[in-house]
Amino acid sequence: MSINIAVLASGRGSNLEAILEAIAQGKLDAKVKLVLVNVPGAGAIEIASKYGVATAVVPNAGLNRKEHEEKVIAELKKHDLDFIVLAGYMRVLSSGFLANFKDERGFFKVINIHPSLLPAFPGIRGYEEAFEYGVKVAGVTVHLVDEKVDHGPILAQATFNRAEDDTIESFKARGLRIEHELYPQVLQNIAKDGVTFFKRIKDETAEAQLNQGTDRETARR
Ligand code: GAR
């Protein structure tokens, strides 16, 4: 089943391009109804135009979070969307924003890609912090967004090794190539089978009693 998505970006837009290219090649059954950026002149706008996708520029400069989010929501609500896809959107979304995009089970229909193996290295310097820390295995995470930063249920992760002679640039470039494969794949899995993730067990004893052996959480649209 095809999914309707809006992609939110702040910068270059290489993940947006990977998504649009996967759609063009018939590998992803989705339609990008809107590309919305908060930074005027962001590369993502040009990429969207190249693929004939509608765009909206909603600058946050001079607005408080609530004012900006209201404008973003107004743009998004013009479209019939199944999911909001964050692709390098460097703004934290408030719970007020997320409440507009709740699924029937209370999860938010907002998906993010993050350049680390969460929960390690959340924030805006995922690759840099992993590299500076000296990790041998790095990775990327696609997850549902929740009210905490880089925290929601994990949909997919992929790893890569740091090479002996890596610089931060070569390390980032390898990670980015993995992002470009992983994000369209995860979206295609969602289009095909819905949103699936392992249940997060906070209190093992209580959860074990509740679950009675169930270890997967599946939400189908
Ligand atoms: C990507 O590496 C993405 O994982 C990261 O920003 C970059 C955007 O690149 N996102 C975050 O750090 C979110 N916390 P792109 O504009 O070329 O897709």
Instruction: Give yes or no for a cis peptide into 119 (omega within 30° of 0).
Output: yes
How far does the centroid of ligand 1 lie from the alpha carbon of residue 206, in Å? 37
Please give the CATH superfamily to which domain 112-221 belongs. Formyl transferase, N-terminal domain (3.40.50.170)
Residue 114 appears among annotated catalytic residues: yes
- Is residue 144 within 8 A of residue 110, CB to CB? The reply is yes
DSSP code per residue over the chain: --EEEEEEESS--HHHHHHHHHHHTTSS-EEEEEEEESSTT-HHHHHHHHTT--EEE---TTS-HHHHHHHHHHHHTTS--SEEEESS--SPPPHHHHGGGB-TTS-BSEEEEESSSTTSS-SS-HHHHHHHHT-SEEEEEEEE--SSTT-S-EEEEEEEEPPTT--HHHHHHHHHHHHHHHHHHHHHHHHHH-EEEEPP-SSHHHHHHHHTT--EEEE--
Hey, whose CA ends up nearest to atom 6 of ligand 1?
A: 88
Span 1-101 CATH architecture: 3-Layer(aba) Sandwich (3.40)
DSSP bridge pairs for 158: 140
pLDDT of residue 214: 47
Residues with CB under 6 A from ligand 1: 9, 11-15, 87-88, 113-115, 124, 126, 176, 179
The tens-digit pLDDT sequence of the chain (221 residues) is: 999 999 999 999 999 999 999 999 999 999 999 999 999 999 999 999 999 999 999 999 999 999 999 999 999 999 999 999 999 999 999 999 999 999 998 999 999 999 999 999 999 999 999 999 999 999 999 999 999 999 999 999 999 999 999 999 999 999 999 999 999 999 999 999 999 999 888 755 554 544 444 455 555 54
pLDDT score for 95: 97
Cβ(79)–Cβ(34) under 8 Å? yes
Q: What is the pLDDT of residue 203?
A: 54
The bridge status of strand 137-144 relative to strand 110-114 is antiparallel
Domain with CATH 3.40.50.170 in the chain: 1-101, 112-221
